[in-house]
Chain A
């Protein structure tokens, strides 16, 4: 059976979105894992970045996040499922999603005193 291209595209998009949705994680456990697994060493205790990139607030979509952790494109060491199982990775992601946005730069006097 043949489908029109537009139908295929829609199905693929729906499939991609479903697959890309983050599994429900335990943010509290994720915070603990974020510390125990040393994620903070490069990304900071609240994901603000440091030696590694900023990853919170508003982390990149789950699909890209989980793919990068397993197969990093640049300098980040790979965290395989043997080291961080999928369930725990979902918990870490859930923690990153809970990190609140910072105050606007204009509202911080110390950042506007040059």
Chain B
């Protein structure tokens, strides 16, 4: 039913003389009459207002009650121009016109509407999707209650520098709000609540303004460092008809090329790296594409330098563990390392907090990061200040081509031989590290609850040989991660509840490529918003979720243990408030209730392989499945 908006109609001036109608007549009925009590049973008796509306004088005016071209159609034009594949939402009246335009005017295609059961799921799905797809998914939410639900996931995306495009339904014109709910669902500055952890936002007051701000927001979201952006889609703008569509223009998007490092600084870093005896590369968030993956391999091979973090082929001889290498390093190259201080220092969490450096005095530290280009002050996601010797404020992946070339230019034949000798030693250490990982996996091999190493090995046996992608949790060092999309990465701000929806979003992005998606799903995380399993079933998103069900918020168990030990009160009560037992949750049944194939709970390691294969058969048919594995704590 269309809203009666006499004020906004008058304001826009193109429905003159058509505003008086039945609703106005109802409004004129005296309140005492309108509130006559209804009979308790039987068919409701029409109210006095309704009788008056049906039998009163017929107006000579014809009220305009329909619109051919609502503003929300133009909004869909803009969204289509930006190339969104999907838009995720829990339905909400503040964006009802946009919702309707998407599914009818837009044909529910590019973007296709994803039905979500919680706004936190919508945004976390968009986060996972963007990590795989390399571009944002759109999200719609109420400006108040929806955004409040979404805010933790937005913070995760912000801290992870992940682009997410959020549209908020809102009614800024107080005189145009329906009494009651629409007031609760409106704010004068809707984006204020998340402004500290979004990259940009705007409240457009015209459709032209909307178009330009939407395109600008998309561009900002995508320019490294990425991040979530918010555009308020005012309900009046959505629902008011467009008088002349030809006067509206959809602005062109021209993506900004990511900032690459200054050539002089890059040459300086290359000189340090080539001269270094024990360089170490940390590539935490540096790699987002196949091209970047190849460039990092090329840099490592050019220098014969170990890579101790980030996306790098696990079976490559230069793939190494940090520890000793970091301690012996003379040059450390940090590529988009969000907590560089924490990687080169040990912080001891005892009664007196203390730290010690993990690197030798004189070790040169280099940072190449777009983090230096964008930072806000309130939320402390930027971590401790790190003293470095060279800082290049630039996108690391975009800087890799020039860094690789600068290094190659400096390597003489003699230096090449020395570097190759280093590479042979590293290759031997890599092989030894793999053997140690194999041996470590044997401990608790047959234990129940099932060890995480056994779980990883059983799962690897299922995915190996397929075109697989891990969209939640990590595998193990024994998994052959041989291309950039095998691993998605975790939530930016360690906000629990991210894993399940992000894995569904990641799996959705992989779906068109036909990849087998698997996720290690923590039990506490799933219980935040398990409805996302239904979304996966409803939209037929193939995903094999394997529960790491340790029946606890395990990190918190350890924190309470720490406090109880520190206070010398005994730790037998540490389970209070931290464990998820009594009753144990039957996740397979939960999954089945949400339309997802469920297996488990599985406590016997010998039962795990067959259960995974049964679930895999469902996933390979294009549907989600969940295997509940009762595990050791870690």
Contacts and interface: CB of A to CB of B under 8 A. Distances in A.
A72 to B, nearest CB: 8
A37 B569 CA distance: 12
A45 B571 contact: no
Given A41-B554, A83-B571, A110-B458, A48 B444 contact: yes
B562 A77 contact: yes
A50 B443 contact: no
B480 A114 contact: yes
A74 B315 contact: no
B314 to A, nearest CB: 9
A46 B447 contact: yes
Interface in A44-61: 44-51, 54, 57
Contacts of A37: 571-572
B574 interface: yes
A6 interface: no
A111 B438 contact: yes
Contacts of B444: 44-46, 48, 102
Interface string B197-213: 00000000000000000
Given A41-B558, A50-B633, A77 B452 contact: no
Contacts of A108: 441-442, 445, 457
B439 interface: yes
B91 interface: no
27 contacts: A38-B561, A41-B561, A42-B558, A44-B443, A44-B633, A45-B449, A46-B443, A48-B444, A48-B447, A48-B451, A48-B453, A49-B443, A50-B452, A50-B633, A51-B554, A54-B443, A74-B348, A75-B348, A77-B350, A78-B566, A102-B445, A103-B442, A105-B435, A105-B441, A110-B461, A111-B441, A113-B461
B557 interface: yes
Given A75-B348, A104-B442, 10 more contacts: A38-B575, A41-B561, A44-B451, A45-B444, A83-B569, A102-B443, A105-B438, A108-B441, A113-B460, A113-B461
B464 A50 contact: no
A2 interface: no
B183 to A, nearest CB: 49
A35 to B, nearest CB: 10
B363 interface: no
Given A48-B443, A48-B451, A111-B478, A83 B568 contact: yes
A37 to B, nearest CB: 6
Q: In which size bucket is the chain B interface?
A: 35 or more
B488 to A, nearest CB: 21
A80 interface: yes
A40 interface: yes
Contacts of B461: 110, 113
A80 B568 contact: yes
Rank and list the top 4 A-B pairs by shortest CB-CB distance, nearest first: A50-B634, A48-B443, A102-B442, A48-B444
Interface string B103-132: 000000000000000000000000000000
B577 interface: no
B439 A105 contact: yes
Contact of B565 (A47, A79, A104, A113): A79
A36 interface: yes
Q: In which size bucket is the chain A interface?
A: 20 to 34
Contacts of A47: 443
Interface string B543-587: 000000000001001100110111011111011000000000000
Nearest to A37: B571
Contact of B568 (A48, A51, A82, A105): A82
Contacts of B564: 83
B440 interface: yes
Nearest to B315: A114
Contact of B633 (A42, A54, A78, A110): A42
B580 to A, nearest CB: 14
B562 A44 contact: no
B54 interface: no
Nearest to A42: B558
A37 B571 CA distance: 6
B451 A113 contact: no
B244 interface: no
Nearest to B451: A48
A33 to B, nearest CB: 10
Contacts of A114: 315, 464, 478-480
Contacts of B557: 38, 41
B632 interface: yes
B566 A45 contact: no
A38 B557 CA distance: 9
A112 interface: yes
B349 interface: yes
A101 to B, nearest CB: 9
B623 to A, nearest CB: 26
A40 B575 CA distance: 13
Contacts of A57: 443
Nearest to B476: A111
Nearest to A104: B442
Contacts of B349: 75
A42 B558 CA distance: 7
Contacts of A74: 346, 348
A54 B439 CA distance: 12
A101 B464 CA distance: 29
Contacts of B443: 44, 46-49, 54, 57, 102
Nearest to A54: B443
B547 to A, nearest CB: 17
A51 B562 contact: no
A36 B602 CA distance: 23
A51 B566 contact: no
Interface string B150-174: 0000000000000000000000000
Interface string B471-491: 000000011100000000000
Given A48-B443, A110-B458, A41 B464 contact: no
B546 to A, nearest CB: 15
A34 B541 CA distance: 42
Interface string B426-457: 00000000010011111111010101110001
A41 B553 CA distance: 11
B565 A44 contact: no
Given A45-B444, A45-B449, A102-B445, A51 B565 contact: no
Interface string A72-107: 001101111011000000000000000000111100
Interface centre among B349, B445, B566 (most CB of A within 10 A): B445
A54 B440 contact: yes
Contacts of B445: 102-103, 108
A112 B349 CA distance: 38
A15 to B, nearest CB: 30
A3 B410 CA distance: 65
